[in-house]
């Protein structure tokens, strides 16, 4: 009985460690994507991840309303690797609570997605997807 209990504890520990493992493998095609990791409320309790193709950002200056063809396949791989859950078209949240903004950004960068790590300034809102998204979400507060 004692051996079974110890085995179960070890299995749970390994499973937990695997769930927290860092993402390190680049995803082919991920370099075509940019992401914004933003707080979705004034209290900074809820985070969202907005995933966009660089092409859509450069052409429209807005969040894409969906992915097509190969971009859809790549987006799904990114979302799975970074452990994100779908909120709406191109909008996600961390599937597991407790992850920090920096952890999510680091995981996105590790798979090859462009993500801004530094703070935004008002001059960046037109050129940076991250900065634009931060201002855009504030309209919903």
- Looking at the domain assignment, is residue 10 inside a domain? no
DSSP-derived secondary structure letter, 134: H
Which residues face 37 on adjacent strands? 49
Q: How many domains are contained in the chain?
A: 1
Q: pLDDT of 6-51, one tens digit each?
A: 443 444 334 444 445 566 689 999 999 999 999 998 888 899 999 9
- pLDDT for 60 equals 92
Q: pLDDT of 69-121, one tens digit each?
A: 999 999 999 999 999 999 998 999 999 889 999 999 999 999 999 999 988 88
Range of the domain at 114: 25-138
- Looking at the domain assignment, is residue 29 inside a domain? yes
Handedness of CA 74, 77, 79, 81 (dihedral sign): negative
- Looking at the domain assignment, is residue 84 inside a domain? yes
Joined together, the tokens standing for residue 30 give 């991920």
- Looking at the domain assignment, is residue 16 inside a domain? no
């Amino acid at each position: 009985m004692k051996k079974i209990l110890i085995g179960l504890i070890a299995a749970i520990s390994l499973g937990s460690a695997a769930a927290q493992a860092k993402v390190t493998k680049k995803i082919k095609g991920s370099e075509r994507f940019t992401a914004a990791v933003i707080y979705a409320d004034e209290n900074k309790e809820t985070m969202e991840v907005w995933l966009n193709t660089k092409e859509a950002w450069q052409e429209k200056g807005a969040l894409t309303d969906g992915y097509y063809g190969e971009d859809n396949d790549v987006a799904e791989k990114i979302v799975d690797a970074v452990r994100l859950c779908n909120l709406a078209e191109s909008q996600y949240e961390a599937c597991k609570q407790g992850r920090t903004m920096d952890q999510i950004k680091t995981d996105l960068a590790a798979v090859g997605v462009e993500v801004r790590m530094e703070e935004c300034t008002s001059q960046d809102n037109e050129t940076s997807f991250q900065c634009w998204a931060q201002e855009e979400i504030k309209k919903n507060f």
